[in-house]
C-alpha cells in the first residue's frame, strides 16, 4: 500500500470533512487532504476503530482531526452530526461525500430483493442528498464552500451485478447538477467517478475473485487496477482553487475503462 507524506498544500488551514472515512477510499481521501494541509472531520457509521485510526493518521501529519458519527440514512442524525462538526471546527470548507453502499453482499442481479434496493438507494441517493442539503445550507450562509460527491464509472457502463447500485450512483449525478445550479456562485458542487481500486471492499468481492478482475484489466487501457492513493488527489482537485470555474461537473478517473462512446 502506498504511503502519503506532506505534499503541495492545496488545503492549508482548511477544514475538510470526509464521510465514510474509517475505511477504504474515505480513509485515503482524509489522509491525502491532511497531507495537503487540511484539518479533517472524520465521519463513520459503524467503523469506530477505523475512524480512530484515520484520525491518528491525520494527526501524524501534523493536522487536527475531529471524529463524528451518524447513519446518513437518517436526516436527524445528519443534522446533529453537522451541528457538532460545525461547532467544533468553526466551519467546514470542503465536504467529500464519499460514503456509499455498493451492495458487496450481492453476487448477481438475480439476488435482488426489496431490502437491498431500499438500503442502497437510502444511502447513495437519500443520504447524499441530505448531506449536500444540510452542509450546503451552512456553506451558503457562511459565503463559501465546496462539495465533491463520489459517484462511480458505473453510471457509464451500468452494473449487471447490482442494478440498484448503478441507479443510486446515477442519481448522484442528478443531485450534483441540481445543487450546483441552486448553490451557484457561492458553493461549488461537483462529482468524481473513480474506477476500480484495490480497496478491501473490492478485493473481497466474490465476482472480483471469479473472473471479474481479469475482464476489467483486459478492458482497461492503462492495464492495471490502482491503489486508492493514486485517485485521491484527483478527487480533491475538484475542491481546490485550481477548479474555481468548475461546478456541476462529473469527471472520471479509471485508466480509460469507460472511454467507450466518449
- pLDDT of residue 192 exceeding 70, the answer is yes
Rounded to whole angstroms, the Cα distance separating 75 from 70 reads 9
Q: What are the pLDDT digits (tens) for 193-243?
A: 987 777 677 667 676 676 777 777 767 777 787 778 889 999 999 999 999
User: What grid cell was written down for 140?
Assistant: 451558503
Decide the pairing of beta strands 145-150 and 187-194: parallel
Q: Kindly indicate whether the domain formed by 15-244 is annotated with CATH number 3.40.50.720.
A: yes
Report pLDDT for 77.
Answer: 98
How far CA 12 is from CA of 40, 59, 76, 137, in Å, comes to 11, 14, 31, 24
Nearest in space to 101 (alpha carbons), one of 51, 158, 169: 169
- pLDDT of residue 184 exceeding 60, the answer is yes
How far CA 178 is from CA of 124, 146, 190, in Å, comes to 16, 15, 10
- pLDDT of residue 1 exceeding 60, the answer is no
Report pLDDT for 258.
Answer: 76
Give the catalytic positions in this structure.
165
- pLDDT of residue 256 exceeding 60, the answer is yes
- pLDDT of residue 34 exceeding 80, the answer is yes
Rounded to whole angstroms, the Cα distance separating 48 from 55 reads 11
Contact between residue 44 and residue 22 where contact means Cβ atoms under 8 Å apart: yes
- pLDDT of residue 262 exceeding 50, the answer is no
Report pLDDT for 50.
Answer: 96
Rounded to whole angstroms, the Cα distance separating 160 from 180 reads 30
- pLDDT of residue 87 exceeding 60, the answer is yes
Give the pLDDT band of residue 46 (cuts 50, 70, 90): very high
Report pLDDT for 5.
Answer: 58
DSSP single-letter state for residue 179: H
Measure the N-to-C terminal CA separation of the chain; round to a whole number of Å: 32
Give the pLDDT band of residue 80 (cuts 50, 70, 90): very high
Amino acid at each position: 500500500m502506498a504511503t502519503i507524506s506532506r505534499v503541495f498544500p492545496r488545503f492549508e488551514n482548511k477544514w475538510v470533512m470526509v464521510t465514510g472515512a474509517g475505511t477504504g477510499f474515505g480513509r485515503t481521501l482524509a489522509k491525502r487532504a491532511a497531507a495537503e494541509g487540511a484539518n479533517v472531520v472524520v465521519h463513520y457509521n459503524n467503523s469506530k476503530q477505523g475512524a480512530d485510526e484515520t484520525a491518528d493518521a491525520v494527526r501524524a501529519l501534523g493536522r487536527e482531526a475531529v471524529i463524528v458519527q451518524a447513519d446518513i440514512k437518517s436526516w436527524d442524525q445528519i443534522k446533529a452530526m453537522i451541528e457538532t462538526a460545525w461547532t467544533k471546527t468553526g466551519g467546514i470548507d470542503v465536504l467529500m461525500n464519499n460514503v456509499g453502499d455498493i451492495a458487496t453482499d450481492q453476487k448477481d442481479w438475480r439476488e435482488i430483493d426489496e431490502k437491498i434496493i431500499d438500503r442502497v438507494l437510502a444511502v447513495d441517493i437519500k443520504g447524499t442528498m441530505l448531506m449536500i442539503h444540510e452542509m450546503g445550507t451552512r456553506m451558503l450562509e457562511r459565503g463559501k464552500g465546496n462539495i465533491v460527491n463520489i459517484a462511480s464509472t458505473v453510471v457509464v457502463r451500468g452494473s449487471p451485478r447490482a442494478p440498484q447500485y448503478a441507479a443510486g450512483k446515477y442519481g448522484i449525478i442528478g443531485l450534483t447538477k441540481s445543487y450546483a445550479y441552486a448553490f451557484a456562485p457561492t458553493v461549488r458542487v461537483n462529482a468524481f467517478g473513480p474506477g476500480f481500486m484495490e480497496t478491501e471492499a473490492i478485493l473481497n468481492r466474490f465476482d472480483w475473485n471469479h473472473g471479474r478482475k481479469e475482464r476489467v484489466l483486459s478492458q482497461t487501457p492503462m492495464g492495471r487496477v490502482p491503489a486508492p492513493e493514486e485517485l485521491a488527489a484527483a478527487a480533491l482537485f475538484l475542491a481546490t482553487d485550481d477548479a474555481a470555474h468548475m461546478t456541476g461537473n462529473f469527471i472520471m478517473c479509471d485508466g480509460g475503462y469507460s472511454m467507450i462512446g466518449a
